[in-house]
Amino acid sequence: MPRYGRTTRALHWAMAALMIWLLWLGARLAWSEPSLALIPVFTWHKSLGLVVFALALIRLVWHRIAPPPKPVDLPPMQYRLARTVHVSMYVLMVALPLSGWIGSAALGPDVLAFGLALPRIVPVSQALSDTAFTVHEWLAYALLLCLALHVSGTAYHRNLARIVTG
């Protein structure tokens, strides 16, 4: 059976772990009462989210250099669903960090990744920040939905070995 390469697998699993962790950190930000104890959660959420953004750009380039192996044989409907979910997840791994970055930058203070200030990508605007965070929240729900379909699809077809062991 055609396999995924080592770099593709490393990128997939590093990003999967980071994105699931970010969903958890994001849920804590959304559901907790405001408190000073949340500051490190914000800091980690932003820094790791920006790592996902950088890895997503690398992954998209890598996808061109080393295209994925031929898909496993699936009934046409399942194939289309799997493909739609994969494409959606590629979009989400860019759009989620970008919406978070825009929402944070539009608030005013510098957006920091591991203590380093990032370029100011948008003007300060409370309205823009609110819109970006609303989008960010809906994209997070979309990621959860994709993840549920993705994990159940791959578990059902028992082809995990293709991306686990190469």
CA distance 14 to 32: 27
β-pairing, 116-117 vs 112-113, is: antiparallel
Distances in Å between the Cα of 33 and the Cα atoms of 22, 42, 44, 127, 136 are 18, 13, 18, 23, 20
Nearer to ligand HEM, 81 or 147 (CB): 147
Which residue's Cβ has the minimum distance to ligand HEM? 26
The amino acid that residue 32 corresponds to is S
Near ligand HEM by CB under 6 A: residue from 12, 14, 43, 44 = 12
Least Å distance, CB 79 to ligand HEM, is 10
Distances in Å between the Cα of 34 and the Cα atoms of 31, 38, 108, 152 are 9, 7, 19, 35
Interacting span for ligand HEM (CB under 6 A) from 33-41, 120-128, 146-154: 146-154
Contact residues: ligand HEM, CB under 6 A: 12, 15-16, 19-20, 22-23, 26-27, 29-30, 45-46, 49-50, 52-53, 63, 68, 71-72, 86, 89-90, 93, 96-97, 100-101, 104, 111, 133, 136-137, 140, 143, 147, 150-151, 154-155, 159-160, 162-163
